[in-house]
């Protein structure tokens, strides 16, 4: 029977993951189940793991094949000879039960065709760029981006002749179109990369306009650049970019998806074709998430809606109070957009204002530091989206490496504080901010 595959022997295509049920329940009596429901069991069959209600942590480096033919078939998927990745478990650099179950559940939120997990958000971004960008290509991106993303594009890929052009996050369609047109003159536009809202300014990008312009300006072209968007600040609860035409959605799953400040992970979601290309790169360079962190992510996804909803409600109350305080210059919070343009984008794109915002104090670095040092409940730490409230100083911390002139142009100023509201009592948080503001003057 040499050369026969498992499908040849049984007449049934083998499941890609031996921990998965043959058919997950996605609806009941015609009712499509909500993501919050599917997070409790989608993609996992307890009968395949000794009846364990929750998936065990599969701490193994390699997996035994059912047959030599099955091993061959699985490697055909890993190497790209067959599309779609391995149809079975092979080796933990390629896939694993915990990772694949979490990928299935992550896809549910965006209604994406497929998803991949990575060892960090930056691993997700780097692997995506390496898979899609060639030497001499051009990347168009919104600005600002997370500082490490900007460094990856400008410094690392720049060594290989990759060029980039950017436009401000809140730019009009006309401004965005002009940048894309200039980029086309420089070379092959490999990718349009967005971050919305922008980190750390909290300004929204008009994804609808970007998609329309991309489709118009590359109509009939041999290569149509995919649109990738970092949805970390709002997703997957408050923004669904794929429904607006984005091709890839990228996450630092460390943030809201992980939600407990105890894991580091990244994710990419999108079409089968693009995910297959990125998977091949992940297989090669080994940026997959480890099984223990994937298991922890599964735990977190079960309460994602509850955590994000509570944090969003808290942020609305805190920001409504903060904007009227005498020590505050302005609060950039999506719940009360500061321009008609931002209000229009918010209305079309978002289902919630999020819980991360930018606070500009009257003064400079001294006042910002005084405020941060006086906090008692909120923790002085980078990151966001956890159950606890965090506050940081982007200009001196996460975006310290950004040149001074660019920080000034992007409104990343010394008086800016980035705050991520958590799940504490809102009135307690307001009391903490009140006493911290008194330290400013």
Ranges in the chain annotated CATH 3.90.1150.10: 304-440
Does the structure show a pLDDT above 50 at 6? no
Predicted pLDDT of residue 27: 87
Average pLDDT over residues 160-186: 97
Is there a contact between 268 and 116 (Cβ–Cβ < 8 Å)?
Answer: yes
Does the structure show a pLDDT above 60 at 14? no
pLDDT tens-place string over residues 327-365: 999 999 999 998 999 999 999 999 999 999 999 999 999
Closest CA to 129 of 222, 218, 217, 230: 230
Q: Which pLDDT band, with edges at 50, 70 and 90, does 2 fall under?
A: very low
Phi, psi values for residue 112, rounded to 5°: -85, 155
Predicted pLDDT of residue 21: 52
Predicted pLDDT of residue 16: 45
Task: State CA 331 to chain mean position distance.
Answer: 24
Task: Show Cβ contacts of residue 69 under 8 Å, excluding neighbours closer than 6 positions.
Answer: 1, 2, 3, 4, 5, 6, 8
What six digits make up the tokens of 51? 């009846």
Sign of the Cα pseudo-torsion (328, 334, 340, 342, in order) = positive
Regarding beta strands 189-195 and 248-252, do their DSSP bridges make them parallel or antiparallel, or are they unpaired? unpaired
Does the structure show a pLDDT above 80 at 72? yes
Q: Which pLDDT band, with edges at 50, 70 and 90, does 140 fall under?
A: very high
CATH of domain 304-440: 3.90.1150.10
pLDDT tens-place string over residues 374-392: 999 999 999 999 999 999 9
Predicted pLDDT of residue 418: 96
Q: What is the DSSP string of 252-312?
A: ETTTTTT-SSS---EEEEE-HHHHHHHHHHHHHHT-PPPHHHHHHHHHHHTTHHHHHHHHH
pLDDT tens-place string over residues 355-371: 999 999 999 999 999 99
Q: Which of 35-49, 132-146, 160-174 has the lowest mean pLDDT?
A: 35-49
Q: What is the DSSP string of 128-171?
A: HHHHH--TT-EEEEEES--HHHHHIIIIIGGGGT-EEEEEETT-
pLDDT tens-place string over residues 391-413: 999 999 989 888 888 888 888 99
| Terminal-residue alpha carbon distance, the chain | 82
Q: Which pLDDT band, with edges at 50, 70 and 90, does 24 fall under?
A: low
Fold for the domain defined by 115-272: 3.40.640
pLDDT tens-place string over residues 251-305: 999 999 999 999 999 999 999 999 999 999 999 999 999 999 999 999 999 999 9
Coil, strand or helix: which one is 43?
coil
Predicted pLDDT of residue 87: 85
Report the percent of the chain where pLDDT is more than 70. 95
Ranges in the chain annotated CATH 3.40.640.10: 115-272
Does the structure show a pLDDT above 80 at 22? no
pLDDT tens-place string over residues 214-263: 999 999 999 999 999 999 999 899 999 999 999 999 999 999 999 999 99
Cis peptide before 240 (omega within 30 of 0): no
Task: State CA 277 to chain mean position distance.
Answer: 18
């Amino acid at each position: 029977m040499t050369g026969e595959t498992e499908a040849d022997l049984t007449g049934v295509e083998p499941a890609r993951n031996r921990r998965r049920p043959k058919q997950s329940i996605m609806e009941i009596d015609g009712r499509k189940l909500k993501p919050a429901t599917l997070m409790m069991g989608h993609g996992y069959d307890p009968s395949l793991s000794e009846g364990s209600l929750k998936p065990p942590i599969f701490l193994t480096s390699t997996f035994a094949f059912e047959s030599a033919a099955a091993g061959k078939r699985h490697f055909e998927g890993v190497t790209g000879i067959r599309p779609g990745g391995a149809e079975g478990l092979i080796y933990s650099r390629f896939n694993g039960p915990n990772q694949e179950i979490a990928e299935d559940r992550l896809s549910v939120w965006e209604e994406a065709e497929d998803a991949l997990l990575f060892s960090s958000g930056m691993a997700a971004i780097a692997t995506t760029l390496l898979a899609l960008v060639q030497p001499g290509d051009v990347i168009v991106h919104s600005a600002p981006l997370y500082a490490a993303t900007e460094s990856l594009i400008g410094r690392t890929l720049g060594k290989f002749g990759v060029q980039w052009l950017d436009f401000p996050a809140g730019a009009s369609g006309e401004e965005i179109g002009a940048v894309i047109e200039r980029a086309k003159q420089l070379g092959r536009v490999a990718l349009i990369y967005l971050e919305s809202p922008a980190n750390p300014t909290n300004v929204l990008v008009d994804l609808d306009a970007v998609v329309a312009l991309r489709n118009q300006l590359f109509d009939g072209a041999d290569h149509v650049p995919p649109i990738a968007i970092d949805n970390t600040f709002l997703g997957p609860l408050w923004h669904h970019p794929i429904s607006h035409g984005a091709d890839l959605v990228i996450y630092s799953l460390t943030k809201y998806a992980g939600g407990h400040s105890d894991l580091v992970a990244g994710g990419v979601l999108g079409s089968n074709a693009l995910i297959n290309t990125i998977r091949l790169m992940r297989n090669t360079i080994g940026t997959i998430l480890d099984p223990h962190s994937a298991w922890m992510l599964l735990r977190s996804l079960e309460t994602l809606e509850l955590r994000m909803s509570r944090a969003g409600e808290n942020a609305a109350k805190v920001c409504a109070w903060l904007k009227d305080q005498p020590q505050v210059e302005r609060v950039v919070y999506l719940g009360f957009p500061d321009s008609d343009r931002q209000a229009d984008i918010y209305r079309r794109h978002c289902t919630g204002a999020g819980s991360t915002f930018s606070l500009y104090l009257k003064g400079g670095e001294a006042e910002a530091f005084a405020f941060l040092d006086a906090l008692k409940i909120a923790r002085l730490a980078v990151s966001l989206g956890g159950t606890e409230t965090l506050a940081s100083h982007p200009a001196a911390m996460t975006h310290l490496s950004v040149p001074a002139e660019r920080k000034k142009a992007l409104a990343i100023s010394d008086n800016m504080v980035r705050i991520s509201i958590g799940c504490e009592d809102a009135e307690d948080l307001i009391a903490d901010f009140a006493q911290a503001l008194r330290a400013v003057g």
